[in-house]
């Protein structure tokens, strides 16, 4: 079973960096729409999106925001991190099959365990598609834990 | 089939408001973790979360952010809205079975179709759990479309 660990507030150093990679799939767009109720036709309607400025369906901006929170809470500082704030700028659309690299970097250590993290997401052509800043409370205690197992998801489309 | 419509930039008036309601379920936490890879044990691990400041599992902050984007892109301005920016402050934890009301209000109309929207989420006890601002490009054209049908989701947990 793979383990995940964290970096405590005391251990964190300005300039600490981490990356997290993820590829957007069509199923993920549909699942994200289902779990949030965000039915924007740019994401779900091929005809609508195809005749728009985007020319094809795109991922939800907030899905990319969640990739950033995944990088922060899985990797740096990792498990035990408490999220306080997140800003996001959606600079370029994310298309199906885009391979994304989320990069995060500790840029400020504040009092009471607060940490500011600069965040960006780059696609496979080197474009920055999202950037922003996170403010979190970094973990006080060292944690090593098994990576939780997630269920297999099946989608039944009605006829 | 239910229809969804929008309010164009020209029609939008400062002070226009909308709400969107949603209740957090345990399945949604697990689905959100699966579709984003965000495995924070505050969301997934009852023992870990139970012995934390939260006392029980909580929802992903970015899931609540996605409820805001759902309100903006489903309702006001609605379909055809292009997201540019979102800021989020996570003020209180969201617990399983919490009934949330997302409130959004048009607070600024800028040039080139840009609109600033104030956003907040209140739980069933009247606490504001999340607030923030969205910056979007409002739709130029009137759209009425059928609400997309989403698939039924089944989760298979491995033994």
* pLDDT bucket at A152, cuts 50 / 70 / 90: confident
In whole angstroms, give the CA distance from residue A151 to residue A156.
Answer: 16
Task: Inform me whether the pLDDT recorded for A146 exceeds 90.
Answer: no
| Predicted ipTM of the assembly | 0.94
**Residue B149 domain-assigned (yes or no):** no
pLDDT value at residue A96: 95
Query: How many structural domains are present in chain A?
Result: 1
- What is the distance between the alpha carbons of residues A91 and A80, in angstroms, rounded to a whole number? 30
Whether a cis peptide bond, with omega within 30° of 0, leads into B47 is no
* Cα→Cα distances B56→A27, A145, B46, B110, Å: 30, 18, 6, 43
What's the CATH number where A19 sits?
Answer: 3.10.129.10
Burial level of A142, CB count in 10 A (0-12/13-18/19+)? middle
Report yes or no on A149 lying in a domain.
Answer: no
Tell me if B150 is assigned to some domain: no
CB contact under 8 A, B35 and A31: yes
The pLDDT score that the predictor gives to residue B4 is: 85
- Specify if A148 maps to a domain: no
Min Cα separation A14/chain B (Å): 23
For residue B23, being part of any structural domain is answered with yes
Dump pLDDT digits (tens) for A84-132: 999 999 999 999 999 999 999 999 999 999 999 999 999 999 999 999 9
pLDDT digits (tens, 9 = 90+) for B73-92: 999 999 999 999 999 999 99
Of A67, A118, A35, A81, which Cα lies nearest the Cα of B43?
A81
Burial class from Cβ neighbours inside 10 Å (0-12, 13-18, 19+) for residue B16 reads middle
Q: Let me know if residue B151 belongs to a domain.
A: no
**Secondary structure E strands in B29-127:** 82-90, 99-109, 114-122
**Structural domain of B129:** 3-143
* Interface check B41 vs A, CB under 8 A: yes
Longest Cα separation, chain A:
56
Q: Is the dihedral of CA B21, B27, B30, B35 positive or negative?
A: negative
Q: Looking at the complex, does the CB of residue A22 fall below 8 Å from at least one CB of chain B?
A: yes
Residue A151 resides in a domain: no
Whether the per-residue pLDDT at A2 is higher than 80: the answer is no
Least CB-CB distance to A156: which of B45, B73, B154?
B154
As a whole number, the mean pLDDT across chain A is: 93
- Of the candidates B53, B65, B80, the beta carbon closest to that of A65 is on B65
CA B117 → CA A42, B8, B76, B79, distances in Å? 20, 14, 9, 15
Cβ atoms of A139 and A8 within 8 Å: the answer is: yes
If phi over 0 gives left and psi between -120 and 50 gives alpha, with beta otherwise, what is residue B136?
beta
* Angle, CA A105 vertex, CA A104 and CA A109 arms, to 5°: 130
Please give the radius of gyration of chain B, using alpha carbons only, rounded to the nearest integer. Answer: 17
In a domain, A152, yes or no: no
Set of chain A residues whose Cβ sits within 8 Å of the Cβ of B68: 62
Measure B31 CA to nearest chain A CA, in Å: 7
Residue A158, pLDDT score: 61
The residue ranges of chain B whose pLDDT is under 70 are 1, 158-159
Residues of A in contact with B66 (CB under 8 A): 32, 35-36, 38, 60, 62-63, 65-66
Tokens of residue B39, six digits: 């495995």
DSSP one-letter string for chain A:
--EEE---TTT--TT-EEEEEEE--HHHHHHHHHHH----HHHH-HHHHHTSTTSS-B--HHHHHHHHHHHHHHTSS-TT-EEEEEEEEE-S--BTT-EEEEEEEEEEE-STTEEEEEEEEE-TTS-EEEEEEEEEEPPSS--EEEPPP--EEEEE---
Q: Nearest CB to B28: which of A35, A38, A69?
A: A35
């Amino acid at each position: 079973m793979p383990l995940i660990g964290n970096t405590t507030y005391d251990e964190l150093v300005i300039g600490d960096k981490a990356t997290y990679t993820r590829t957007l799939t069509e199923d993920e767009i549909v699942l994200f729409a289902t779990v949030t109720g965000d039915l924007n036709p740019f994401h779900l309607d091929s005809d609508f999106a195809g005749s728009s400025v985007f020319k094809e369906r795109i991922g939800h901006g907030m899905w990319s925001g969640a990739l950033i929170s995944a990088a922060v809470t899985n990797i740096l500082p990792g498990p035990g991190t408490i999220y306080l704030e997140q800003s996001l700028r959606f600079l370029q659309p994310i298309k199906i099959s885009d391979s994304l690299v989320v990069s995060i970097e500790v840029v400020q250590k504040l009092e009471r365990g607060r940490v500011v993290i600069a965040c960006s997401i780059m696609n496979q052509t080197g474009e920055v598609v999202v950037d922003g800043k996170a403010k979190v409370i970094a973990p006080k205690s060292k944690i090593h834990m098994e990576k939780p197992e997630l269920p297999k998801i099946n989608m039944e489309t009605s006829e």
